[in-house]
Amino acid sequence: QKEVEQDPGPLSVPEGAIVSLNCTYSNSAFQYFMWYRQYSRKGPELLMYTYSSGNKEDGRFTAQVDKSSKYISLFIRDSQPSDSATYLCAMSGSRGSTLGRLYFGRGTQLTVWP
């Protein structure tokens, strides 16, 4: 079992839909949670960053972390065709093998059609 699990999709939604992406993890040492967006033939770029449990909102994007359930989510409101990409969750911690190292999910491929 991988330390970070993510449904690869693919996920296809119409423009304007609310998109929900999520990951589960097994290592309780993870404290920092990130969502990266990766366009085809490009490197991942940081989209959202959250420390510990709670919510964080940035424009149309909301990241949620529930450490008790080891579950993180990314919501995209009013989705646009330009949001079509692969979304990768990533996490790290502050001790041992989790320090300074990102553990990625396998990514969810999202297509938003006009």
Partner 1 sequence: EAGVVQSPRYKIIEKKQPVAFWCNPISGHNTLYWYLQNLGQGPELLIRYENEEAVDDSQLPKDRFSAERLKGVDSTLKIQPAELGDSAVYLCASSPQGQSSTDTQYFGPGTRLTVL
Q: Where along the sequence are the contacts to partner 1 (CB under 8 A)?
A: 4, 6, 8, 31-32, 41-46, 49, 51, 88, 90, 92-94, 97-102, 104-107
Integer Cα distance of 42 and 103 in angstroms = 19
- 93 Cβ contact list (under 8 Å, min separation 6): 27, 29, 30, 31, 32, 99
Distance of CA 79 to the CA centre of its chain: 15
β-pairing, 45-51 with 54-58?
unpaired
C-beta closer to partner 1: residue 61 or 104:
104
Output 17 or 53, the one with its CB closest to partner 1. 53
CB of 32 to partner 1, least distance (A): 5
77 versus 101: smaller Cβ distance to partner 1 = 101
Closer by beta carbon to partner 1, 17 or else 84: 84
Q: How far is the CB of 69 from partner 1 (least distance, A)?
A: 21
- The span from the CA of 18 to the CA of 53, in Å, is 22
Minimum CB separation of residue 101 from partner 1 in Å reads 5
